[in-house]
Amino acid sequence: MGKDGTHARSAPDLRVQLGPLSLKNPVLTASGTFGYGQEFSDFLDLARLGAVVVKGISLEPRPGNPPPRIAETPAGMLNAIGLENVGVERFVAEKLPYLRKRNATVVVNILGNSEEEYAALAERLEDEEGIAALEVNISCPNVKEGGIAFGTDPRMAARVTEAVRRKTTRPLITKLSPNVTDIALIARAVEDAGTDIISCINTVSGMAVDVFSRRPKLANILGGLSGPAIKPVALRCVYQVVQAVSCPVIGIGGIQTALDALEFLLVGASAVQVGTASLVRPTSAVEILDGLERFLRHQGLASVREYIGTLDTSCRFPLAEETCAGDE
Amino acid sequence: MPKTQEKARLLETRRVADDTHRIVLYAPRITATARPGQFVMVRIASEGADPLLNRPFSFHRIHKDDGLFEILFRVVGRGTWLLSQRKEGSSLDVIGPLGNAFPMPEAQEEIVALAAGGIGIAPMVELGYRLADWAREKDSRQVFLFYGARTASELVPLGKLERRGIRASFSTDDGSRGSCGTVVDLMDQSVRESGLLPQRLYACGPLAMQAAVAAWAHEKDVRATMSLESVMACGIGACLGCALPAAHPDDSSRARHVHVCKEGPVFDSRKILWEKMEPTPVRPLTFVCS
């Protein structure tokens, strides 16, 4: 609160602290939905975003999966891009300098086929300027090796996290998959292995078929579901992870509006990533940021931090208190 | 050219052939830099998230002075059906102009042809007007249009295009208008009768037709420029969803992709690995609106 008690009228403080990572605001882009940032520079100022999380980078360029790679589903989309990317060398030579020039806060999403590849990527990026954090992708459902193979087994997830941890001094984010029986188990494993931050969720494994051609709608047959359709699943996962770990959490999944973003902050996410919404409306992330600020003013909050994790789960009906709080 | 997100006003909507609609949109910022061959992404849902994704449409006509452009589309699914139901005066979120444009003929090229199949006529009309102007600059220049559809009622009226000096001929699968056969049959017939082999071919249409045109052009050593389509999510090169199999210059066994929204939608036919292309599934119309 300001000295004169007029905090609601001054601009709310949007800064968030995620362990070692300081961000100017809690609105980030989600990997795979924002290219390398440059694709969006006609539509918004990259420097305004909490961070730009770039398309997942591997050691070598990857051609990705054969087409068709996209199928629309009710309030969502399935994709099986297959981690097509330019590879770390071209990223460093061509993409990163542009992001630096635009004063973007950059988070580099990394992926590999083995622990060694993840470690080598972290090492390769360690001395490059203009990287705020690494996000370890152990949750892509669309490739056979790497990706989700590491994300569904707590021991493997921990080993990849440890391998990257040993090679980087930068803030480390580990991105989790919802396609597991107990996400809290994986979350605790990567926290114990040294991750600073957990982001979740990646896409939800799904499928679509065409009844006329009798063909799957994706060449890969299975794909990852994203968009508003997955928001309740994402919210549940973030809530469970927040309960399970003590490190900060970034919420991802179906966020289209500021109110969606606030739901994730409410259950305890310290920041959010905007994904599919950017594909449909390139200005989504900054519009969500503006909406967040409006909401905080409306609620008379001086800082977004006052709102994070304030979900009230106390019993709503005092007469039913025994059953609400019951042990059974 | 900067890409813009603009709220466009739907000024006019009209059914111009079987299941085929033309809408006129007022969007001065997008129109200002639009070129033939480029496209826009149109938001279908007036509110909410269903359908979630925008739909890509090429510029059918560009009226720079009036800040308007037209799109021409065929109802092939729920998105295009909903678009066909939009009322005049309503507004739509549009992103554009996107992708690359048709290159104009090179200095030595004098005989050019447009080949359109079905709704593939959409981007060919604006290009046709530009080529008509190009042809008027020099007597030796000629522009042919080969336009085919399944049946006569699917052919879209071409307006003043023919009066501008374009030599148009038509084909239908059932012979209800023009010659009975394919666009490639029509091209063969024209070359036989006029003795003029085009030096450059512009084509747009269903996959089977495009592949046949590409093969025809390759065999006759004619440069073919194709406007291609794909299922698309963003249209701005971010999602990489609209990949097509590309011919690898060195090694055909190596997977390589081009992206319709970024490197295209206009491609030299030799850049595409035609044998790996998959047709976009089309839903029978009976089930579109149900």
CATH number of the domain bearing residue B212: 3.40.50.80
DSSP A117-154: HHHHHHHHHTT-SS--EEEEE---TT-SSSTHHHHS-H
Statement to judge: residues B88 and B164 lie in one domain: no
Decide if A328 is inside a domain.
Answer: no
Decide if A316 is inside a domain.
Answer: no
Statement to judge: residues B80 and B131 lie in one domain: no
Please tell me whether A112 is known to bind a ligand: no
B4 and A42 within 8 Å at the Cβ level: the answer is: yes
Partner A contacted by B286 (CB < 8 A): no
Statement to judge: residues B89 and B22 lie in one domain: yes
Partner A contacted by B49 (CB < 8 A): yes
Decide if B248 is inside a domain.
Answer: no
Decide if B269 is inside a domain.
Answer: no
Partner B contacted by A67 (CB < 8 A): yes
- Residue B18 lies in domain: 4-98
Decide if B247 is inside a domain.
Answer: no
Statement to judge: residues B88 and B218 lie in one domain: no
Q: What is the pTM of this model?
A: 0.93
Residue where one domain finishes, among candidates B50, B81, B98: B98
Statement to judge: residues B92 and B111 lie in one domain: no
- Using the structure block, give the residue that is written with the tokens 């420029």: B225
Decide if B260 is inside a domain.
Answer: no
Collapsing DSSP to helix, strand or coil, A242 comes out as: helix
Measure A272 CA to nearest chain B CA, in Å.
19
* Residues sharing a CB contact under 8 Å with residue A292, sequence separation 6 or more, in sequence order: A14, A25, A26, A27, A258, A261, A262, A304
Across the range B128-149, mean pLDDT stands at: 95
Statement to judge: residues B151 and B89 lie in one domain: no
Please list every residue in chain B whose beta carbon sits closer than 8 Å to the beta carbon of residue A213: 281
pLDDT digits (tens, 9 = 90+) for B56-81: 999 999 999 999 999 999 998 899 99
Decide if B45 is inside a domain.
Answer: yes
Decide if A100 is inside a domain.
Answer: yes
Please list every residue in chain B whose beta carbon sits closer than 8 Å to the beta carbon of residue A219: 278
Q: According to the model, what pLDDT value does residue A315 have?
A: 74
Statement to judge: residues B123 and B213 lie in one domain: yes
Gap between the terminal Cα atoms of chain A? 43
Please list every residue in chain A whose beta carbon sits closer than 8 Å to the beta carbon of residue B240: 55, 64, 69, 81, 84
What's the mean per-residue pLDDT of chain A?
A: 92
Residue B256, pLDDT above cutoff 60 = yes
What CATH code is carried by the domain that includes residue A99? 3.20.20.70
pLDDT digits (tens, 9 = 90+) for B15-53: 999 999 999 999 999 999 999 999 999 999 888 889 999
Number of folded domains that form chain B: 2
Closest residue on chain B to A85 (Cα): B240
pLDDT digits (tens, 9 = 90+) for A118-133: 999 999 999 999 999 9
Q: Known catalytic residues of A? A: 140
Residue where one domain finishes, among candidates B98, B119, B135: B98
Number of folded domains that form chain A: 1
Partner B contacted by A33 (CB < 8 A): yes
Nearest CA-CA partner of B145 in B155, A305, B153, B212: B155
Please tell me whether A137 is known to bind a ligand: yes
Residue A2, pLDDT above cutoff 70 = no
What distance in Å separates the CA atoms of residue A46 and residue A58, rounded to the nearest whole number? 23
pLDDT digits (tens, 9 = 90+) for A239-293: 999 999 999 999 999 999 999 999 999 999 999 999 999 999 999 999 999 999 9
Residue A148, pLDDT above cutoff 70 = no
Statement to judge: residues B169 and B196 lie in one domain: yes
Partner A contacted by B230 (CB < 8 A): yes
What distance in Å separates the CA atoms of residue A236 and residue A254, rounded to the nearest whole number? 12
Please tell me whether B170 is known to bind a ligand: no
DSSP A274-296: E-HHHHH-TTHHHHHHHHHHHHH
Decide if B274 is inside a domain.
Answer: no
Residue A59, pLDDT above cutoff 50 = yes
Partner B contacted by A221 (CB < 8 A): no
CA distances from residue A124 to A52, A155, A190, A193, A259 in whole angstroms, order as listed: 20, 25, 22, 21, 38
Please tell me whether B148 is known to bind a ligand: no
pLDDT digits (tens, 9 = 90+) for B90-129: 999 999 999 999 999 999 999 999 999 999 999 999 999 9
Asked if ipTM goes beyond 0.85, one says yes
pLDDT digits (tens, 9 = 90+) for A60-117: 999 999 999 999 999 999 999 998 999 999 999 999 999 999 999 999 999 998 899 9
Please list every residue in chain B whose beta carbon sits closer than 8 Å to the beta carbon of residue A226: none
Please tell me whether B242 is known to bind a ligand: yes
- Using the structure block, give the residue that is written with the tokens 């809530």: A239
Statement to judge: residues B219 and B88 lie in one domain: no
Cβ atoms of A253 and A230 closer than 8 Å: yes
Residue where one domain finishes, among candidates B98, B119, B134: B98
Please list every residue in chain B whose beta carbon sits closer than 8 Å to the beta carbon of residue A76: 52
- Residue A59 lies in domain: 16-306
Statement to judge: residues B79 and B112 lie in one domain: no
Decide if A196 is inside a domain.
Answer: yes
Statement to judge: residues B111 and B216 lie in one domain: yes
Neighbours of A209 (CB within 10 A): 13
User: Which A-chain residues 128-157 have CB contacts (< 8 A) with chain B?
Assistant: none
Statement to judge: residues B163 and B288 lie in one domain: yes
